[in-house]
Amino acid sequence: MIWLEGLSYLVTILGFPAAIYVIVREERLRRANEISELHRSLSQEYDGFLRMVMDNADLLLMSRACLPEPVSEEQRERIEIIYRMLLSLFEKAFIILHSDDMDGDAQRRWSSWEDDMMEWCSREDFRRLLTKLLDGEDPQFRAYILHLGQRCAEKAAQA
């Protein structure tokens, strides 16, 4: 009977920490899977956005140069709507994926989004509309994307 009592103590001493370890590990895995799924979902949204840009090829949004003047009112409106949609997607990605203390995988995922943001910020027409389009957006995202726009403007001025 004493050995059963000793065995129960042993199970308590070893089993409780092991259970906590398993629970913490499972929670980390669940969170990592959740973040990966969010990233995949955002990436699919961006792919859909790029299809829309392709459907509006007359606006030349994938070229480095802005649409040559004269630009019709209808074209300006479509460009502004498309840029609003893009900024909304970038803001979602920023809120969901960005943090000041990202580890390797998180940093890699974020770098992919930052590359896309830099590519769009390199367009002068996009930068010109940024402050107008960012009214009412998340203050941290606003500061972040304006900083990227500034870096791209400086880079363009040096070229």
Torsion of CA 132, 65, 120, 71, to 10 degrees: 40
Please report, for the chain, the start and end positions of each structural domain, with discontinuous segments joined by +: 39-158
Rounded distance, CA 76 to CA 129, Å?
11
What distance, in Å, lies between the first and last C-alpha atoms of the chain? 85
pLDDT higher than 80, residue 159: no
Spatial distance between the Cα atoms of 10 and 26, rounded to a whole number of angstroms:
24
**pLDDT at residue number 151:** 93
pLDDT tens profile 63-103: 877 777 888 999 999 999 999 999 999 999 999 889 888 88
- pLDDT average, residue stretch 14-36: 82
pLDDT in tens, 28-56: 888 878 888 888 899 999 999 999 999 99
